[in-house]
């Protein structure tokens, strides 16, 4: 499966970045719950492993928080690659706002 990768810098303490990401997952679930199914998420330390199905396509990935950035990687179906730029831009924008000091 093709991969997608987005890195967004931040100036927060790692714990604060993780706290914000955890609270954001509730917001995302509420906003996109009607378009996303089979949502799985598990935190281990500062890394979130996730999976979901959207428009019949399976997506899996990780969000890793480091002292200076948050890196999102995901395996997406080939059919979704035509939207790669738009997906990356949405992730960058949303994380940028979330992680702003």
pLDDT for 72: 95
Selection from 22, 8, 30, 7 nearest residue 101 by Cα: 8
Q: Which residue in this structure is represented by tokens 């990401």?
A: 21
Q: Calculate ∠ Cα 33-38-42, nearest 5°.
A: 95
Q: Where are the domains of the chain?
A: 3-94
Q: Which residues of the chain have pLDDT under 50?
A: none
pLDDT of residue 19: 94
The CA R_g of the chain, rounded to the nearest whole Å, is 13
Q: Which CATH architecture has domain 3-94?
A: 2-Layer Sandwich (3.30)
Q: Is 56 left (phi over 0), alpha (psi -120 to 50) or beta?
A: left
């Amino acid at each position: 499966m093709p991969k997608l990768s987005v890195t967004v810098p931040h100036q927060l303490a790692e714990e604060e970045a993780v706290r914000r990401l955890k609270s954001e997952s509730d917001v995302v679930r509420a906003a996109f719950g009607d378009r996303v199914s089979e949502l799985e998420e598990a935190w281990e330390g500062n890394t979130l492993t996730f999976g979901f199905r959207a428009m019949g396509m399976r997506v899996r990935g990780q969000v890793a928080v480091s002292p200076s950035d948050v890196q999102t990687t995901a395996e997406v179906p080939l059919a979704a690659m035509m939207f790669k730029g738009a997906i990356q831009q949405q992730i960058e924008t949303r994380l940028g706002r979330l992680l702003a000091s």
